[in-house]
């Protein structure tokens, strides 16, 4: 018998959640039974099939499963520990976790409160933003794997919930008469499976397969820059802060990370990275050291070539619709953001928070029409448009934070 890829993940998650050996055995026994059933049929049935186990999809799966809805969550990667760079929670993300009783569990997994935001010019602090009245921090760094360990670990306690890793969606199933989406076809464990569901949710990111298969049009919006990411160890005494500077006429941001690291985000002109790689990396490293002299040793040790950076092609998207009969797209699949302000993960979690009760009502009413599901889009579309506008405003005004560069 093949080993179900949910088995080892559930075991690790349950160990991490400090559940008892009895619970672990119970869950693994259920996995064995599920897999034996899988060998007897190529079809699975569920009320809601969610594609994409990022924070938005994982939170939605938890909220629905906690209310007794049968959920299958699909993830194309084989593990949840892949490196991810948009890992900062703002007040929206924190509020949602607290409201659903998840924040303290995430805190125990590991997070880091930012004490302040600082703007640097020529190695000196020129502006500081502190937490507002009654606030404890200016943002929270949460490694995505820590957040997902909690969301998935809590979900896996429910017998009506199934997580399928290393699973790729290949097609949508539609009713031949009214064309309503009624499930997905997937490749799982080298086999083709059919998952029949009352609702399909596309939470599979900016390059969403669900969105493409549904024929939903996305307008791509460029921001005029791309982003280079790098991660270096934080030197002794480096505070939990977000630090900003202008380096080589471009925005440079440093984010202190839980675990003793600094994430570097450096804007470069759009589509220039191939040409940039042809030149030495040394001028970039020197500009970074000039902006933040305290980093000289760690930069010289860890930024030695362009291979130490990862490129993010920066773009947003606006979709012509978020819903079809039996189908909803959410998060980056519906409204991609640029990295500015770390909006994306928080907006995806807000989507899940708003969408879950609407889906419960739709299932109870046995109505998954576009009109019913479209309430979600009506509630969230303008909010996400305003968030996107705020990104463009912040990007255009970044230089104005530095007196020497004000126009």
Q: Would you say residue 93 lies in a domain?
A: yes
The residue-averaged pLDDT of 128-134 equals: 95
Taking phi over 0 as left and psi of -120 to 50 as alpha, with beta for the rest, 124 belongs to beta
Residue 142 has pLDDT above 50, yes or no: yes
**pLDDT value at position 84?**
59
Q: Would you say residue 359 lies in a domain?
A: yes
37 with 128, same domain: the answer is no
Give residue 82's pLDDT band: very low, low, confident or very high (50, 70, 90).
low
384 with 235, same domain: the answer is no
Range of the domain at 133: 88-142+224-312
pLDDT tens, residue by residue, 9-52: 443 444 333 332 223 223 333 453 454 444 445 799 999 999 99
Cα–Cα distance, 120 to 128 (Å, whole number): 9
Cβ-contact 58, 155 below 8 angstroms? yes
pLDDT tens, residue by residue, 183-209: 999 999 889 999 999 999 999 999 999
**pLDDT value at position 49?**
98
pLDDT tens, residue by residue, 265-282: 999 999 999 999 999 999
Q: Would you say residue 402 lies in a domain?
A: no
The residue-averaged pLDDT of 62-71 equals: 98
Cα–Cα distance, 234 to 295 (Å, whole number): 8
In the chain, how many domains are there?
2
228 with 308, same domain: the answer is yes
Task: Lay out the sheet containing 250-257: strands in order across.
Answer: 124-129, 116-121, 241-247, 250-257, 261-269, 225-233, 310-312
The residue-averaged pLDDT of 81-91 equals: 77
Q: Would you say residue 403 lies in a domain?
A: no
The overall average pLDDT reported for the chain is 89
Q: Would you say residue 257 lies in a domain?
A: yes
165 with 62, same domain: the answer is yes
Q: In the chain, what percentage of residues exceed pLDDT 70?
A: 88
Q: Would you say residue 397 lies in a domain?
A: no
Whether pTM exceeds 0.75: yes
Of the three residues 254, 279, 312, the one that is the final residue of a domain is 312
**pLDDT value at position 14?**
41
**pLDDT value at position 42?**
78
The CATH number for 129's domain is 3.30.9.10
Q: In the chain, what percentage of residues exceed pLDDT 90?
A: 84
Nearest to 46 by CA among 26, 68, 66: 68
246 with 380, same domain: the answer is no
Instruction: Determine the length of the chain.
Output: 407
135 with 155, same domain: the answer is no
**pLDDT value at position 248?**
87
348 with 384, same domain: the answer is yes
**pLDDT value at position 359?**
98
3-state secondary structure the chain: CCCCHHHHHHHHHHHHCCCCHHHHHHHHHHHHHHHHHHHHCCEEEEEEEEECCCHHHHHHHHHHHCCCCCEEEECCCCCCCCCCCCCEECHHHHHHHHHCCCHHHHHHHCCEECCEEEEEECCEEEEEECCCCCCCCCCEECCHHHHHHHHHHHHCCCCCEEEECCEEEEEEEECCCCCCEEEEEEEECCEEEEEEEEEEEECCCCCCHHHHHHCCCEEEEECCEEEEEEEEECCCCCCCEEEEEEECCEEEEEEEECCCEEEEEEEEECCCHHHHCCCCCHHHHHHHHHHCHHHHHHHHHHCCCHHHCEEECCEEEEECCCEECCEEECHHHCCCCCCHHHCHHHHHHHHHHHHHHHHHHHHHHCCCCHHHHHHHHHHHHHHHHHHHHHHHHHHHCHHHHCHHHCC
Nearest to 224 by CA among 279, 173, 270, 156: 270
b/e burial code for range 318-336 (CB count within 10 A of at least 16 → b): bbeebbbbbbbbbbbbbbb
376 with 331, same domain: the answer is yes
47 with 108, same domain: the answer is no
**pLDDT value at position 83?**
61
Cβ-contact 233, 252 below 8 angstroms? no
Cβ-contact 266, 275 below 8 angstroms? no
The residue-averaged pLDDT of 300-324 equals: 96
59 with 154, same domain: the answer is yes
**pLDDT value at position 80?**
80
Q: Is the dihedral of CA 367, 371, 373, 376 positive or negative?
A: negative
Give residue 249's pLDDT band: very low, low, confident or very high (50, 70, 90).
confident
Cβ-contact 156, 61 below 8 angstroms? no
Nearest to 308 by CA among 194, 393, 388, 232: 232
Residue 99 has pLDDT above 90, yes or no: yes
Residue 91 has pLDDT above 60, yes or no: yes
The CATH number for 361's domain is 3.50.50.60
Q: Would you say residue 399 lies in a domain?
A: no
Give the contacts of 323 (CB within 8 A, at least 6 positions apart): 329, 370, 373, 374, 376, 377
Q: Would you say residue 101 lies in a domain?
A: yes
Of the three residues 260, 283, 312, the one that is the final residue of a domain is 312
273 with 353, same domain: the answer is no
pLDDT tens, residue by residue, 357-387: 999 999 999 999 999 999 999 999 999 999 9
Cβ-contact 1, 36 below 8 angstroms? yes
62 with 208, same domain: the answer is yes
Give the contacts of 232 (CB within 8 A, at least 6 positions apart): 261, 262, 264, 295, 298, 299, 302, 303
Residue 125 has pLDDT above 50, yes or no: yes
Of the three residues 280, 312, 344, the one that is the final residue of a domain is 312
The residue-averaged pLDDT of 157-176 equals: 97
């Amino acid at each position: 018998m093949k080993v179900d890829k949910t088995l080892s993940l559930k075991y690790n998650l349950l160990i991490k959640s400090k559940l008892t050996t009895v619970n672990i055995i119970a869950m693994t026994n259920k996995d064995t039974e599920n897999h034996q059933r899988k060998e007897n049929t190529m079809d699975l049935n569920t009320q809601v099939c969610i594609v994409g186990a990022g924070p938005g999809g994982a939170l939605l799966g938890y909220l629905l499963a906690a209310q007794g809805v049968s959920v299958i969550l699909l993830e194309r990667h084989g593990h949840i520990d892949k490196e991810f760079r948009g890992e900062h929670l703002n007040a929206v993300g924190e509020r949602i976790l607290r409201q659903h009783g998840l924040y303290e569990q995430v805190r125990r997994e590991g997070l880091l409160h930012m004490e302040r935001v600082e703007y640097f010019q020529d190695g000196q602090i020129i502006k500081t933003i502190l937490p507002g009245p009654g606030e404890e921090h200016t943002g929270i760094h949460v490694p995505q794997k820590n957040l997902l360990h909690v969301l998935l670990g809590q979900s896996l306690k429910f017998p009506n919930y199934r997580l399928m890793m290393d699973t790729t969606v290949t097609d949508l199933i539609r009713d031949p008469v009214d064309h309503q989406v009624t499930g997905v076809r997937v490749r799982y464990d080298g086999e083709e499976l059919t998952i029949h569901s009352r609702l399909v949710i596309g939470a599979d990111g900016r390059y969403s397969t669900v969105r493409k298969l549904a024929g939903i049009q996305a307008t791509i919006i460029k921001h005029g820059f791309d982003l280079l990411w790098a991660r270096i160890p934080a030197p002794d005494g480096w505070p939990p802060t977000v630090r900003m500077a202008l380096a080589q006429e471009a925005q440079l941001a440093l984010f202190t990370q839980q675990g003793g690291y600094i994430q570097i985000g450096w804007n470069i002109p759009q589509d220039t990275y191939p040409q940039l790689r042809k030149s030495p990396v040394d001028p970039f490293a020197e500009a970074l050291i000039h902006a933040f002299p305290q980093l000289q040793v760690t930069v010289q040790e860890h930024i030695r070539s362009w291979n130490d950076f990862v490129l993010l092609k920066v773009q947003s998207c606006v979709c012509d619709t978020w819903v079809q009969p039996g189908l909803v797209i959410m998060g980056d699949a519906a409204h991609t953001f640029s990295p500015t302000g770390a909006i994306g993960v928080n907006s995806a979690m807000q989507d899940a928070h708003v969408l879950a009760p609407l889906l419960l009502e739709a299932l109870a009413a046995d109505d998954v029409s576009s009109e019913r599901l479209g309430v979600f889009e009506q509630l969230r579309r303008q909010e996400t448009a305003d968030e996107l506008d705020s990104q463009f405003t912040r990007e255009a005004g970044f230089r104005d934070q530095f007196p020497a560069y004000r126009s």
